[in-house]
Amino acid sequence: MNIADQTIPAIEAANEDRAQAIRDQLRDAIVDRRLAPGTKLSEGEVGTLFDVSRTVARAALQMLSFEGLVRTERNRGAFVANPSPEEARQVFASRRLIEPGIAIAAAGRMTPAHVAAFKAQLDEEGRFIAERGPNARRSEIKASGDFHLLLASVAGNVILQRFMEELVARSSLVIALYGRSGISSCGHNEHTQILEALENGNAERGSALMLHHIDHIEADLDLRVRSGPALRQALEF
């Protein structure tokens, strides 16, 4: 397990909370799939890995558990979340409720600076799609999520922004788990279209496009139950 090394050390803002920094690195590792769902994250291991005591490692894991990226079982430890198809559906149902509204809110607050940031974001996204290999694919999922987070930040509601951070992180996990690899790149075009609409102040259109976009992302998943019933099915055959 080499998490701390792979991510950029980034000259930690020293007096910033250490637990928070560890949480951020672990979160990146989880949504990037460097840590597979189900992986055990023992307090001791995390602690030695980041060179802190179990106390602060534990705090970081507790934060991730609140975000739903980690599941903790009493006296057993913390594990990278392994969202069920039902959970996956709920994540996207939540996004369908929230994100069209965020798009509308963002439309009313777009500044040229915001537009420029979006353009840069979309460029980077396009670059990752052009590349090949599983590493680029990880980056692509991440960049795609960042588009939605950027939009949430423009909307200017910090509560919704935090909700979106959680939903995007969980979505990345879900996509990594249930995504059919090939198709998702069409999302880039949709992002472009959404930006276009919002840039022109067409909030309603941006909102509608966003709703379709979320539908498309979910449609690209294979959410048939597998582990429990599928196993039984396979054996009873």
Partner DNA sequence: CTCGCAAAAATCGTATGCAATATTTTTCGT
Partner DNA sequence: ACGAAAAATATTGCATACGATTTTTGCGAG
Verify binding: residue 58, DNA, rule CB under 7 A: yes
Verify binding: residue 202, DNA, rule CB under 7 A: no
Verify binding: residue 215, DNA, rule CB under 7 A: no
What backbone phi and psi angles, to 5 degrees, belong to 67?
Answer: -75, -5
Single residue of 44, 53, 66, 189 touching a second copy by CB under 8 A: 66
Q: Which does 91 bind (CB under 5 to 8 A by kind): DNA, a second copy, none?
A: a second copy
* Distance in Å, CB of 69 to a second copy, minimum: 13
Residue whose token pair is 């949504």:
31
Q: E strand or H helix at 225, and its extent?
A: none
Vertex 210 angle, CA 208 and 214, to 5°: 120
Contact present, 69 and 27 (Cβ < 8 Å): yes
Verify binding: residue 149, a second copy, rule CB under 8 A: no
Verify binding: residue 74, a second copy, rule CB under 8 A: yes
Contact present, 171 and 149 (Cβ < 8 Å): no
Question: Three-state DSSP class for 121?
Answer: helix
Site for a second copy in 156-195 (CB under 8 A): 157-160, 163, 167, 170
Which residues bind to DNA, rule: CB under 7 A?
17-19, 40, 42-45, 52-56, 58, 72, 74-78
